[in-house]
Structure 1
Amino acid sequence: MKGTLSLKLLPACIAALTCSQAFAELTPIQDTELGTVSGQSGISINLETRVTMDEFRYTDEGSISLKDVTFGGADKTAFFEGQYAGGRVLPITQSNMLDDVKIDVDVRSDGDLLISVGALCNTPGCVGTIPVDFGLSVGSVDLVSADGLTSTSVLENFNMTGYFTAAFFQIENDGANGEINAKVSFAIDDIDFDAPLLGMGIRDMYIAGAGFNEDLEFGAFDIANSGAVARLNIRTAQGNVGGAQEVDNALQISLAGNSGDAFVADVGIGAVIIGGTSIGSFTIDDLALSNTTLKIYGH
């Protein structure tokens, strides 16, 4: 039958593969040399993807259901269109894919794992800050009863686009005291959603770096400084979690900014819709979150 190797030929094939002539051009590595081989140059990964989910559901007794979830590219080149006439065009390719992403992975001599994520630039004249654009959409977020007969729509038509210019992750090799440290520079140029439960909607919301509102006032834009910088420390927390309760092995997430203290960002909302009509816009200058820690555990 086509595609089948006769068993009668098997001994001949083995003999041909194991004869000295078959390996005449190969030089075997000695044990002493093998010990010097390592991945000192690390690993690089080029990523292109788009993720879709019909539903993501968390169940306790009742459930929280996220439907029609999509994560990929922003599918545009002009950003902050709600703030600048025509937006600001970034040096990226329009696509609904999360693409042109380069991931570098290295393991240091002390065992720490380092992961760096940024833009892949194959253009010979590629200079300056090149962002990685992303887009997230969720059709609806619903509360669902255990029997599935009652549901309430909390959020609908959620759409978010933005970009990041750099992301770094360090997983420390420190035994039981190991932790994850992350640093991300990002900007979210547009968030739109409806909240049927409250009868309201949000349009053209943005989160950017400190100083963005000042640049916006003068019509300036600097991609390198447009993003907010967030530092995260993730580890296991033990003992008191903020009240009288003692909890072992709680998940602790601490948030800081670029300098290691407060996370600072400029925030704006283009329109708040209530009863189908906009009641106006809002801006927050230098919103600072300091000494911010989340401790997450079951109850």
Structure 2
Amino acid sequence: MKGLKKVTLGAAIAAAPWLAYGTTPLDDAALSEVTGQAGVTIELDTRVTIDQIDYSQGPSTGSVLVNNIEIGGFGPLNDQITENLDIKIDIDLQENGDALLRFGPMGFNPVDLGVSVGSVGLSGSSGSATLISNFDMRMWVSGFDVLARVEDLQGNTGGSGSLAMDAFFAIENLDVDFDVAAVSLKGLRMGGPGSLEGTDSSSNGLIEEAAFPDTNSVRLALQPVNAQLRVGAAGSISASGPSETLRVQVDNFVSDIWMPTINVGSGDSSGAASIGSIAIDHLDISGTEMAIYGRQ
């Protein structure tokens, strides 16, 4: 990541794929009363901090606590990357009634998104426990489209509609401690199919760490993960579930993952705890469906 130049990332974002929605903007006369142009653009510069999120299922249950959440940019790595999250949002209405929200960078660079969470744990009358801690993730987001559709997940109109989401992203770095299992991951990276390919001198077919260095951020931006999701109200997957649930359908999600350092335990007398590295080639969860609903 260090030393990454504006020109190289500019080329990367220009080459990153985008889903081409066939948008038909309203005519100027219809929209001029609000904006004077065919569409609305919002530029956002922000940083979000949350002390704690407390989730419980009632007064007689314990809680899941998520502490010290921060959402912003990577940080002041150079004059192009700031601590804030800088994005541009284009809003366009289509002739059939659909609304397209396109989230993207303000300039040539992809959006640098940083997310950190201090800890995730349990708390109740019997005590508390920390399950996960020190979560820190840095991502490149070259595009994120949200299409609010008049059609529901079954293709019918006149109901509650649905959302179609199309994102292009790559994880530059992810560190996390799984306290519940005494396992920690350092330097995890995720890109699209083929982003792990490189010179591999090992005999077991796994990519060596040297083949996926920090200086290859341009390769991540050029080969991002393309996640395509549809979200809406529909019946449960099982026959015993309710007639209306929150349904999530994964139409496309294929990625390569590189975990250069996997630590287990507190280490030996020298402090070393790594058990090695793992490379995952072409992880495909396309076609996955999920139904979410409450119960008593």
TM-score normalised by length of structure 2: 0.74
Cross-structure match for 1:188: 171
* Aligned twin of 2:88: 102
Alignment-derived partner of residue 98 in structure 2? 112
Identity percentage over the alignment? 30
Q: Which amino acid aligns with 2:84?
A: M
Partner residue of 1:44 out of 31, 41, 44: 41
| Separation (CA, whole Å) in 1 of partners of 2:164 and 2:128 | 39
The amino acid across from 1:160 in the alignment is M
Tell me: higher relative CO, structure 1 or 2? Use CA pairs within 8 A at least 6 residues apart. Answer: 2
1:231-270 paired onto structure 2 within 5 Å: 231-238=228-235, 241-257=236-252, 263-270=253-260
Amino acid at match of 2:139: G
1:205 aligns with 2:188: yes
Matched, 1:291 2:287: yes
Contact 2:185 2:262 in 1 (8 A): yes
Q: Structure 1 159/216 Cα, relative in aligned 2: closer, same or farther at 3 Å?
A: farther
Measure the CA separation in 2 of the matches of 1:96 and 1:292.
Answer: 35
Q: Which amino acid aligns with 1:108?
A: Q
What is the CA-CA distance between 1:67 and the residue it aligns to?
A: 0.5
Q: Which SS does the other structure have where 2:83 is aligned?
A: coil
Match of 1:247, SS?
coil
Classify 1:296/1:34 alpha carbon distance in 2 versus 1 (closer, same or farther; 3 Å): closer
Which of these residues, 144, 149, 152, is aligned with residue 172 of structure 1? 149
TM-score (norm 1): 0.73
Distance 1:53 1:216 in 2: 42
* Structure 1 residues 114 and 278, CA gap change in structure 2 (3 angstroms): same
CA RMSD of aligned residues (A): 2.3
Cα deviation, residue 246, structure 1: 3.0
Distance 1:117 1:161 in 2: 18
- Could you say which residue in structure 2 is the equivalent of 1:13? none
Structure 1 gaps of 5+ residues are 1-32, 79-91, 258-262
1:144 to 116, 119, 123: 123
Segments of structure 2 that go 5 or more residues without pairing to the other structure are: 1-28, 151-156, 201-210, 267-272
The amino acid that maps onto 2:90 is D
Aligned residue among 127, 133, 138 for 2:112: 133
- Within 1, Cα distance between the matches of 2:274 and 2:173? 17
Residues 71 and 297 (structure 1), Cα distance of their counterparts in 2 relative to 1, 3 Å cut: same
Q: Indicate the structure (1 or 2) with the bigger Cα radius of gyration.
A: 1
C-alpha distance in 2 between matches for 1:154 and 1:195 = 6
Within 2, Cα distance between the matches of 1:35 and 1:108? 12
